[in-house]
Amino acid sequence: MRFTLLAATTILGAGAACAATCESLASLKLPDTTITLAQEVAAAANTPAYCRVAATLKPSSDSDIKIEVWLPVAGWNEKFVANGNGGWSGAITPNTLAMMVRRGYATAMTDTGHQGGSGSFALGHPEKLVDFAYRAVHEMTVKSKAVIAVYYGKGPRLSYWNGCSSGGKQGLKEAQRFPGDFDAIIAGAPANYWTHLTAAGVWTLDAVRADAATDIPAAKAQMLHRAVLAACDALDGVKDGLLEDPTRCKFDPKSIECKGADAPDCLTAAQVDTVRKVVGGPVNPRTMEKIFPGLEPGSELGWEGTFQAIGGLAVDYFKYVVFKDANWDLKSMNYDSDIALADRTDDGMINATDPNLAPFFKHGGKLLMYHGWADPLIPSQNSIDYYKSVQAAVTNATGNMDDSLRLFMVPGMAHCAGGEGPNTFDMLGAMEQWVEQKKAPQSIVASHSTAGKVDRTRPLCAYPQTAVYKGSGSIDEAQNFECRAR
């Protein structure tokens, strides 16, 4: 949505048409808003001079939403980008804002109404939970555009969202609930099916930490990963240590089960069962329906470091939101009735699964999704499932969905970044090309670096296409691959 001066003056009064000094923003009056800082920050080695505005928003009697808006003093590109959070999302990260200011954007971020990475803030504070779910991001967006309009004397020409994980969920929620807030949304590895993602987190943590016998130590995870690659690496036509499409890999962990006593190069029967639970995902014991996808083959290297993280996030949800009991024990989880209770409790508040994006697409909105195939935190199939649900819901209403939505799956990438595969790419640049030059992304070049040196590039392909080796040249150079239909 283009935020016009008329909209600014509606919020601010008649004085919005002239550019303001940074310091004068301290006296700016906005609904439910207290400006706590308005200060020009001098240019540093890697950051241009910018106006830093901090504010506290109180849209409800129990709200305490912190936001920051950074505005380049010179060289503003007349665009706004808002940035997403991770996990329970209680932080504003200066490095994220600095990166966007360097690109010429006016930029903003929120702590979503609480501090820290725990879900304990929600206990007894239903309004704070609403802030976390969607209200903080929407309020930040509206107030940031107002600040921008006053500081520059005009609102942003284009507004972008950029987030991964919880930030991906936030972006999808914006498209679903406030379709006019942004012209374009980048949503990476979205945690959008919150109730079932957290159920899967409890399932995984329970499977792995049930007792010492069920745990998969780091060394065993690495051994398992090597076995998966040995079985499936060549299925995509090239042996490169990556699974271009892990759904084609039908590796059975029983193939490396120990024949006798436990050993470093095999899995015990209990560990085989754990792997099957992690890869299979949680299942309703009554209906036998899948609750949420499992992790993909190839994600094993990240298991040790992330199971505890997703388990902690998930347990917090059931403790503080579903059961409202800080002493709730994951061992008591009922994967039939408790999941149904979670869905009823949420009722679409945190969940961002609504596939009807027609209102967002009809005003020209663009949605660019991406997900690492080796994500050990949020199963990558979740993004494909949402993509397909939008395709089914929207295509008939708006015509060709490719004009509005693209999904890029990233072989070998972990959660939002990292991993063995090419995991560095410019999604914002691709979105700029799409929105501003009408060049829809068919492929995006990604790179992998070791010790700061690029050692592999590869094209990421618009789903459902995958990168296929042309048959000659280095397998470490993107130019020797092309995107083809599956």
Would you please indicate which residues are annotated as catalytic (active-site) residues? Answer: 165, 375, 415
Do residues 374 and 414 touch, judged by C-beta distance below 8 A?
Answer: yes
The dihedral through the CA atoms of 474, 478, 484, 485 has a sign that is positive
The per-residue b/e assignment along 221-251, b for 16 or more CB within 10 angstroms, e otherwise, is bebbbbbbbebbbeebebebbbbbbbeebeb
Provide the 3-class DSSP secondary structure of residue 248. Answer: helix
Q: For residue 184, what are the β-bridge partners?
A: 160, 366
CA dist., res. 18 & res. 73, Å (int):
15
Query: Which sign does the torsion angle of CA 202, 282, 375, 83 carry?
Result: negative
How far from chain centre, in Å, is Cα 76?
Answer: 27
Q: What is the residue-wise DSSP string for 413-453?
A: B-SSS-BSS--B--HHHHHHHHHHH----SEEEEEEEETTE
Whole-angstrom distance, CA of residue 117 vs CA of residue 256:
38
Beta-carbon contacts of 446 under 8 Å, excluding residues fewer than 6 positions away, are: 410, 413, 421, 422, 423, 424, 425, 457, 458, 459, 460, 478
Q: DSSP string covering 362-392, please?
A: HTT-EEEEEEETT-SSS-THHHHHHHHHHHH
Residue 364 CB neighbour total at 10 angstroms? 12
**E-strand spans in 136-219?**
158-164, 184-188
